[in-house]
Structure 1
Amino acid sequence: MTATPWLDPEEKEAWTGVISIALLLPGRLEAPLQRAAGITLFEYMTLSHLSEAPDRRIRMSGLAFLANGSLSRLSNVVKRLERRGWVQRSPDPDDGRYTLAVLTDAGQEVVVAAAPEHVRSVRELVLDPLTRSDRQALARIAAKLRIRPGDRRDDDPH
């Protein structure tokens, strides 16, 4: 049995920074969205990704990945968004085994209205306190850790 390689002070500080970002930042980004649009950060990210997809439609499995959630969590959120008239689900005409999420015009209006508040929060809480060099380093770190939506680890094209 090998000894556990405990974190040294520099590693512990780096880890504490990363986990603090992961656990605390989402709530700080969500609060203004709740006040301005009555939506959660996950709902906003779901609507936002749909708004950027070709024809405002994407397979649920791909949307779950982009929104950084499980398919079951996304299904629950999309069900709520459907009840509000912001998203519709339909079978994928190219392959009926998949379900498409489609952003409605009403959903597009919500994301367009919420986007300025979200961008303000992102700037205030994340981007403005950082230098250009810090932002570049953050992007490089995220790329190295392969944690961005474009950094898929599997070969699933959906």
Structure 2
Amino acid sequence: MDIELVYDKGLLREIGGVAISYGQREWMDTMPRALGPWPLEYQRFSATLRAVGDVEIAYRRWSSLPRTVGQWDCEQRKSRLERVGPYQLRYDRAGRVCTVGPVQIFYDRGNWNPVRAQLQSTDQSLSDALLLVLFLVMFWQKQAWDAYYQAHR
């Protein structure tokens, strides 16, 4: 099953038909504000995502890596996220996430944006849980890249 990733003006707008909305001044504020019906909450005066709907996210102290997402534990190794609950993450040689559980992510050649995703099993559909984890992984990856590029300007 193909999962369409839709971009407009450089911002990810949809994952598999589920809209990602931004603030009214999106040219100034590129932080997503909702994933479908779920509002996104950030820590005060920060870009750290603390909740998606009623799913809270807890982070390791002094780190941008999550410790828990709702009731799921997260695993890290060498400052890299390896697992979110039941979903194992795999990375390619460039350090990009290439699989999230049963979802494979494909990137365009000239950019680091994911251009499409594919659910490897034909008998599954994109569940809310898998949608949430896919969004979070792409969100955190983009934040990490943006921070890296800001630091190395």
TM-score normalised by L of structure 2: 0.25
Q: Which has the higher contact order (CA 8 A, sep 6+)?
A: 1
Larger radius of gyration: 1
* Structure number having the greater helix percentage: 1
TM-score normalised by L of structure 1: 0.25
* Structure number having the greater strand percentage: 2
